[in-house]
Amino acid sequence: MKNFKKSLQTLGAAALVVGSALTITAPAVAQNSNVSLSDILRRVQQDSQQMSAEDQRRLQEFRQETAEQQSRMSEARSQLQAAEARGQALSAEFDENERQLSELSAELETQAGDFGELLGQFRTAAGETMPIIRESLSNYEYGGRAEKLAEVSEARSLPTREDLDALPKAMLQEMIAQSEVKTFTTSVAGAGPEGEVADVELMRVGIFTAATTDDVRFVEVITEGTDEPYLRVLKAQPGGSFASAMRSLINSEVGETVITPIDPSKGDLFAVAGEMPTLEQRIQQGGTVGYVILFLLAVGAIFAIFKIVTLFLMGSAMRRTAKTRKAGTGNPLARVFEAYEQNKHQDLESLELKLDEQILRESPKIERFNDVVKVLAAVAPLLGLLGTVIGMIITFTAITNFGAGDPKLMAGGISVALMTTVLGLVAAIPLLLLHAIASSMARGNQQILDEQAAGLVAERAESNTVTA
């Protein structure tokens, strides 16, 4: 029995080599000793037949797919041959059409004669005029002219009467537009609240200048870097005088004569003018030294104006006192008269000394702050010279570090040097003038005191002489 079981196990292991289906039945045979060898053989034969049938089915599918691929390949080759034949036919037809076109063109040139040369000149003129009109401000009001001229200049067929009329009409319209001052609505880039494209009303002066009517911003025609020219608001608007003149034109009545700015470059000159630095920007170029100079100018001007006003009021009061000869404390002359009244009973020499003493006491009040203005007027140009030296140091430092190839690298130091010099002179000149005015008024008031004191002494001397 043991030998039989071993034989079954050996047979089962051999059956594993025959087919994968025996991998399941072999253990069962090992466990069930009642299975006969004929059953095992029958099962092995059944599995073999099933595998043969599966292989036949797969082989049949492969052969069928191969036949279908060959059929599709044959169909594709037929289509390719048909397409090649059609291409050859079309190529032959194209060559024939080219030959006929050449013959017709030669016949046309022969029959046209001088008209062909004239037609060439007409097309050349249309091609030269087209970009001028295309980049004109009037093209955004009278559209379609540039496209028509481009069509005429590039056409290969004979132009019609309408085509021939397009060139003179476009040129005449452009000539009329040069003398027009009109408003029209069109799309302008940068005209919106956030810099987007918006439809706005423009005031056009000829074909040279255009500006928005609501906020008076000049526009320009952009042609570089684009296939189609368009209008754009200038990034840097020119100074207030240009905008003011344009606003006057926009608000003017019909028939009114108004002076308005014209830019023959159609926006380039206005763009350059807009990039010019403003007064505030120029002051900023002076740096710290420039601000110090302006501070000294403000302080000196305040002292000078205050001194001029006080001297004027003092002089007016002294002239009134000179007429009334009333003693008091309201002004220097009144206090001199007060000193005279207090010492008029003394001898002449003592009286004269008392009056001189009072005049000396009043002189510092009259000359007060004049020296401050004078010093500030002298210091301002010195600070300007200091700024010039600092600017030159900055310039030469830039040259040392980067070379002299790029002028922009030296522009900062040169701006500091020039602007501080200008600011120093701007501060010194008015301060000197104000100091001169204040000094002159102080000397006038001082002279009034001297004259009145000398008159009092003279009167006292005459009275003593008469008494004697």
Residues 384-422 have pLDDT tens digits of 999 989 988 888 888 888 777 777 777 778 888 889 999
Please state the length of the chain.
Answer: 468
User: Is residue 93 a part of any domain in this protein?
Assistant: no
Q: Where are the beta strands (DSSP E) in 153-287?
A: 181-188, 198-205, 209-212, 219-222, 230-233
Residues 387 and 253 in one domain: no
Show the tokens assigned to 118. 């004239």
Residues 284, 406 within the same domain? yes
Measured between alpha carbons, how far is 242 from 248 in angstroms, rounded to an integer? 10
pLDDT at site 128: 83
Q: Is 127 helix (H, G, I), strand (E, B) or coil?
A: helix
Specify which of 11-25, 44-58, 191-205 reaches the highest per-range mean pLDDT.
191-205
pLDDT of residue 18: 37
Q: Are residues 189 and 337 in the same domain?
A: no
Last residue of a domain, one of 222, 239, 274: 274
Q: How confident is the model at residue 116 (pLDDT cuts 50, 70, 90)?
A: low
Contact 129, 170 (CB under 8 A): yes
Which of 43, 1, 3 lies closest to 26 in space, CA to CA? 43
Among 219, 252, 274, the domain boundary falls at: 274
Q: Which of 242, 274, 306 is the last residue of a domain?
A: 274
**263 & 350 share domain:** no
3-state class (DSSP) for residue 220:
strand
Q: Do both 372 and 442 map to the same domain?
A: yes
Q: Is residue 423 a contact partner of residue 288, using CB atoms and an 8 Å limit?
A: no
Tell me the mean pLDDT in the region 136-159: 80
Contacts of 135 (CB under 8 A, 6+ apart): 221, 223, 229, 266
Residue pLDDT, tens place only, 198-256: 888 888 888 888 888 888 888 888 887 777 888 888 888 887 788 888 888 888 888 78
Q: What is the mean pLDDT of residues 169-196?
A: 86
Considering only residues 424 and 259, tell me which one the structure prediction assigns the higher pLDDT.
424
- Are 301 and 192 in the same domain? no
Q: How confident is the model at residue 266 (pLDDT cuts 50, 70, 90)?
A: confident
**pLDDT on residue 375:** 93
In a domain, 227, yes or no: yes
The fraction of the chain above a pLDDT of 90, given in percent, is 13
Shared-domain flag, residues 208 and 241 = yes
Per-residue pLDDT at 291: 92
**Look-up of token digits 């034969």:** 45
What interhelical angle do 37-112 and 114-134 show, nearest 10?
110
pLDDT mean over 275-288: 81
Give me the domain span that covers residue 311.
279-466
Whole-number Å distance between alpha carbons of 298 and 176: 56
My answer on whether 184 and 308 are in the same domain is no
Residues 332 and 404 in one domain: yes
Our count of domains for the chain comes to: 2
For residues 268 and 283, state if they share a domain. Answer: no
Q: Quick one: which of 214, 201, 445 has its CA closest to 332?
A: 445
Residues 263 and 292 in one domain: no
In a domain, 34, yes or no: no
* pLDDT the model gives residue 113: 60
Q: What is the DSSP letter of 218?
A: B
Identify the pLDDT of residue 298.
Answer: 94
Closest to 431 measured CA to CA, from 292, 295, 300: 300
Using CA atoms, how far residue 218 sits from 188, 200, 224, 230, in Å, is: 11, 12, 19, 14
Beta-strand runs (E) in 17-105 = none
Of 218, 213, 148, 136, nearest to 177 by C-alpha is 136
417 shares its domain with 377: yes
Q: Per-residue pLDDT averaged across 267-273, rounded?
A: 79
> Is 327 within the bounds of a domain?
yes
